Amino acid sequence: MSTFGDEKTVELIRDEFIPVAIDQWYTRSQEDAEGEFYRRIAAQGPRTDFEQTTQGFYLADAAGNLLGYNNNRHGTPLKRLLIQTANSFNENETFEPIVQDIADERYTRVVPEGTVTVRVNAKILGGYDEPESQWDEIFQNAVSRDNLWILSGEIESLSRGEFPVALATRIARFHLVDNTRGEPVMWRADQVKELEISLSDGLITGNAYLETDDGKRHYRVALRGHVEFEDGRLSRFDIVALGKHFGHGWYTPDPPDGEFPLAVTFRLADGSSVSDSVPPQGTKGWLPQYVELR
């Protein structure tokens, strides 16, 4: 059973806890009240070097006392821990709310005004060997998730029937990636060897070729999609990118051998999912690299 594949586990988290999902790469380093609260909790667990990852599931009370920790991909130990913690939690104990006075700006990502979010999914369509375990099968069939931001000026360009170069560059560098097995390596500007995306009568067509200088990673890809506006509002932004990918990043080992077909799809987010509000992975560490493209 995978971590969240069990209804009872999900029910426990939903009903008995206040669930929060964070990228601990940010939180463990933040010099503000949120960072201090996280480190207070994590320091009681097994991962106390805040220069390294502290990932896992933490159960804590509102004062920051650790009630349990788990980092097992099998769901059963986590469910057991959730039940134990829920049963032993003292509901009568009172705590004080912690207020963030000044957020650490180095780790704050503000969505530029007028930005539209697009859901991005990727999947490897073939090339793997026969799976040897349940986990192989999960990885091999994984559909990744990320968000693309389209900035307000770019939406104006689209409404005029132009596909902005900055948007094409953002898609190529930060979204034409194999993120199906973990955090991907993005493409540097000089690794975009060819890129052409055009818009004509609402139809998007294009091609890109991305390659590292050492030849260890490349992706040659064709794109097709549709853009529509209703009452001046962007109402459709659907794209499919399909091509042959080769290689992997540090956190995405074990792709299929040789070149493999990788598809990436884009569709407007409707705000119905909490993940629609998560900043794109490409903004991680330095927002300008993602939004200040030409």
Scanning residues 153 to 192, which ones bind another protein (CB under 8 A)? 179, 182-183
Shortest distance in whole angstroms from residue 156 CB to another protein:
25
Site for another protein in 212-251 (CB under 8 A): 220, 222-225, 238, 240, 242-244, 251
In angstroms, rounded to a whole number, what is the distance separating the alpha carbons of residues 246 and 248? 7
Q: Which is nearer to another protein, 158 or 284 (CB)?
A: 284
* Alpha-carbon distances, residue 248 vs 134, 170, 280 (angstroms): 22, 20, 20
Q: Which is nearer to another protein, 135 or 153 (CB)?
A: 135
Site for another protein in 38-67 (CB under 8 A): 38, 41-42, 53-62, 67
In angstroms, rounded to a whole number, what is the distance separating the alpha carbons of residues 177 and 184? 7
Shortest distance in whole angstroms from residue 153 CB to another protein:
24
Is 207:237 a contact under the CB 8 Å cutoff? no
End-to-end CA distance of the chain: 46
In angstroms, rounded to a whole number, what is the distance separating the alpha carbons of residues 36 and 52? 16
Nearest to 221 by CA among 282, 172, 280: 172
∠ CA 4-6-7, nearest 5°, is 110
Q: Which is nearer to another protein, 169 or 179 (CB)?
A: 179
Shortest distance in whole angstroms from residue 40 CB to another protein:
11
- Residue pointed to by tokens 């009240």: 33
Site for another protein in 104-123 (CB under 8 A): 121-123
* Residue in 48, 72, 84, 100 binding another protein, rule: CB under 8 A: 100
* Residue in 162, 194, 228, 292 binding another protein, rule: CB under 8 A: 194
Q: How many residues bind another protein (CB under 8 A)?
A: 93
Site for another protein in 20-39 (CB under 8 A): 20-25, 27, 33-34, 37-38
CB neighbourhood size of 253 (10 A): 9
User: Applying CB under 8 A, does 211 fall inside the site for another protein?
Assistant: no
- Residue pointed to by tokens 């560059």: 169
For residues 128 to 147, the per-residue mask of contacts with another protein, x marking binding by CB under 8 A and - elsewhere, is: ---------------xxxxx
- Residue pointed to by tokens 């990636």: 177
